[in-house]
Amino acid sequence: MVKSLAALSFLALMCFMISFRKSIEMVQRPGLHTIIVDAGHGPKHPGAHGLISKEKDVTLDIAMKLGEAIQKEMPDVKVLYTRTTDEEQNDETAGTANRYRADFANKSKADLFLSIHCNATPQPAGGWYAKRVIGHKKVLRFVGRGKRRKKKLVNEPIYESYWVKNMRRGTETYIWAADRSGSKSDFIGQRGQEDSEGSEFASDSAASGENEENDLSSPEAKIRAQLYEQRFFKKSALLASFVEDEFKKSGRLSDGVKQRTWKGIWVLQATGMPSILVETGYLTNKEEEEYLNSDSGQDEVAQDIVNALRRYKQQIEGGKSNISAAPDSTK
């Protein structure tokens, strides 16, 4: 009897999954209507330090230019900012600030979360002095102990100090890896219950004939959230690959798309939507820091991301079914 009930439950879940996937195909593919532009870090958490700048200031400049460029080239897309000045409420700790950003994105029912950051190496910005052996010399030294103590000629290295330039540069874009922990699907499920109308969640629920008052702990709700997590992973990977492709077209060195496979980037994990985090370059590289602080450099970074967004928008709204670009590299 128990085995029969378990088999019937399994068949019911399989039928639900099949019907849900078919309902997704029947529903019109959702468009890109609202984008959250997030300037990484804040006044109390400045992030990476370069020779002439801090990450919080550079990301804010780029984020504001990016938002303006999006509104200019895609007037039908609404842009919301997590911060527009160097003063931010909810900035007592890095954790509370990041939770606020993710909650803001979810409550705004956004279609995309785009976070701007700058990178840094553990080594000092610009460069550092190091030592190397350039030869040896004979020196008379005492060796041994007690009665065995005596003078002896020994070879001692001759050191030279030299300057090591910090050469690390390049861009990379992070996404939250699907099917790793299921933690993102928890937030997707919560958002799906909150969205009542005018959203991707609501349209799929209506097409599948589901009740809006879903129990988040039910097997159906969990499966639904996991399916969305997989879909959002594909969309995130698609956009991230477009961003890095546009950077390469502009002559930037690209380290590619990286999947975050452990907890740490809360704004990727806790946002119930496609989300990417763009590392626009290294502030610890003198030339790249100057580029990221210049108007021309910031404009170019913003335009590259807008070009990627245009391709992404065309892809998801054009009805193409090959949204499956997944990054090769993992980190």
Indicate whether 286 and 300 sit together in one domain: yes
Indicate whether 104 and 153 sit together in one domain: no
Indicate whether 171 and 98 sit together in one domain: yes
Indicate whether 237 and 184 sit together in one domain: yes
**284 is written with which tokens?**
């610890």
What residue type is 111 in one-letter code?
D
Percent of the chain with pLDDT over 70: 68
pLDDT at position 7 is 58
| The pLDDT of residue 91 is above 60 | no
Tell me the pTM. Answer: 0.77
Return the CATH number at 50: 3.40.630.40
Indicate whether 203 and 283 sit together in one domain: yes
On whether residue 171 sits in a domain, the answer given is yes
The pLDDT tens digits for 135-183 are: 999 988 888 888 888 888 889 999 999 999 999 999 999 998 865 555 6
Indicate whether 87 and 120 sit together in one domain: yes
116-138 burial, b at 16+ Cβ within 10 Å, e below that, comes to bbbbbeeeebbbeeeeeeeeeee
Distances 27 to 21, 108, 164, 213 between C-alpha atoms, Å: 10, 22, 58, 20
Indicate whether 251 and 146 sit together in one domain: no
Indicate whether 139 and 173 sit together in one domain: no
**79 is written with which tokens?**
């842009």
Last residue of a domain, one of 135, 164, 193: 164
Question: Residue 143 is part of which domain span?
Answer: 127-164
Indicate whether 159 and 272 sit together in one domain: no
Inter-residue long-range contacts of 95-98, CB under 8 Å, 24+ positions, other chains counted = 95/266, 97/42, 97/45, 98/266, 98/267, 98/270
Q: Model confidence at 260, in pLDDT bands (50, 70, 90)? A: confident
Higher pLDDT, 54 or 194: 54
**Which of these, 101, 90, 253, lies nearest to 171 by C-alpha position?**
253
On whether residue 312 sits in a domain, the answer given is yes
Indicate whether 133 and 192 sit together in one domain: no
Higher pLDDT, 75 or 328: 75
Question: Domain total for the chain?
Answer: 2
On whether residue 80 sits in a domain, the answer given is yes
**Which of these, 237, 235, 208, lies nearest to 223 by C-alpha position?**
208
Indicate whether 213 and 293 sit together in one domain: yes
Helix (H, G, I), strand (E, B) or coil at 155: strand
On whether residue 1 sits in a domain, the answer given is no
Give phi and psi for 176, each to the nearest 5: -85, 125
On whether residue 326 sits in a domain, the answer given is no
Distances 101 to 14, 83, 105, 266 between C-alpha atoms, Å: 36, 9, 6, 9
Indicate whether 134 and 269 sit together in one domain: no
On whether residue 103 sits in a domain, the answer given is yes
Q: Model confidence at 88, in pLDDT bands (50, 70, 90)? A: low
Q: What's the CA gap between 294 and 91, in Å, rounded?
A: 27
Alpha helices in the chain (DSSP H): 2-26, 55-73, 94-107, 183-194, 200-208, 219-249, 266-269, 286-293, 295-317
The pLDDT tens digits for 271-328 are: 889 999 999 999 999 999 999 999 999 999 999 999 999 999 999 988 544 444 444 4
Last residue of a domain, one of 111, 146, 164: 164
Higher pLDDT, 28 or 256: 256
On whether residue 53 sits in a domain, the answer given is yes
Q: What's the CA gap between 327 and 257, in Å, rounded?
A: 5
| The pLDDT of residue 189 is above 80 | no
On whether residue 175 sits in a domain, the answer given is yes
Helix (H, G, I), strand (E, B) or coil at 213: coil
The pLDDT tens digits for 202-222 are: 545 444 444 444 555 555 555
